Chains A and B, each alone.
Chain A
């Protein structure tokens, strides 16, 4: 779990090179952190010998991040946002959905479960101090 920040850092680095809006990049980063959290907790059940794979595909302004785990997945077609405000768990899918343009669940041909997150990144305004790569 201590490496959950790595894909977020990779995204910030990519965003720094692309010069895109920091807000959109942070939103995507939050969604990817959730995807990785899900993959580790629910997919791999926190078993140390199981890895997760993260694939970044960039076709600016579109960026696609795919997270694969060794779990069997879940009934995503039947998923509905839980309605109990004070529940302690169960917000990951909601965060992924709200912070991305497209959220897809599928199985890889090798059987692994995957979450694919797509975000269209706006370019940062020229005078934007908020551009990615700047400390938040």
Chain B
């Protein structure tokens, strides 16, 4: 998995690509969020457009990130989740936790 960072209107956007499946991915994602929080970015959008699939370990990575940001007074939201990954969120009921958007501007505005 690769992570690219952008900033937009005080919101950090993480463009993810590849497969979200645990192992080194967990450390990379956690470190990225810790750095963002340290820099004052507590609201984060995870862009899943180029993520081909997520396994249960990958779900755990997102949950961990969500909890980290909530403890810091911020939030983690998802962008452009594919139908395949959305199905995994639905069966695990995590679609009730993560706010998800298909439009980036709308996702950024949702933090206002």
Question: Which residues of A does B touch, CB under 8 Å?
Answer: 1-2, 4-5, 8, 23, 26-27, 29-30, 33-34, 37, 41, 85-92, 94-95, 98-99, 136
Q: Are B52 and A5 in contact (CB under 8 A)?
A: yes
Q: Are A30 and B84 in contact (CB under 8 A)?
A: yes
Query: What's the dominant secondary structure at chain B's contact region?
Result: helix
| A-B pairs with lowest CB-CB distance, top 5 | A88-B60, A91-B56, A98-B91, A92-B56, A26-B84
Nearest B residue to A30 via CB reads B88
Residue among A2, A23, A88, A90 facing the most chain B CB atoms (10 A cut-off): A88
A-chain residues with CB within 8 Å of residue B84 when the two chains form the complex: 26, 30, 136
Offer 15 A-B interface pairs, CB within 8 angstroms, sorted by A.
Answer: A26-B84, A26-B87, A27-B87, A30-B88, A34-B55, A37-B56, A85-B96, A85-B97, A86-B63, A86-B97, A88-B60, A88-B64, A91-B59, A91-B92, A99-B91
Question: Which residues of B does A touch, CB under 8 Å?
Answer: 19, 21-23, 52-53, 55-57, 59-60, 63-64, 66-67, 82-84, 87-88, 91-94, 96-97
Which of B19, B60, B94, B97 is within 8 Å of A89, CB to CB? B60
B-chain residues with CB within 8 Å of residue A26 when the two chains form the complex: 84, 87
Q: Are A94 and B92 in contact (CB under 8 A)?
A: yes
Nearest CB on B from A80, distance (A)? 15
Nearest CB on B from A27, distance (A)? 7
A-chain residues with CB within 8 Å of residue B96 when the two chains form the complex: 85
A-chain residues with CB within 8 Å of residue B19 when the two chains form the complex: 4-5
Give complex CA distance A26, B85 in Å. 10
Nearest B residue to A2 via CB reads B23
Give complex CA distance A33, B58 in Å. 12
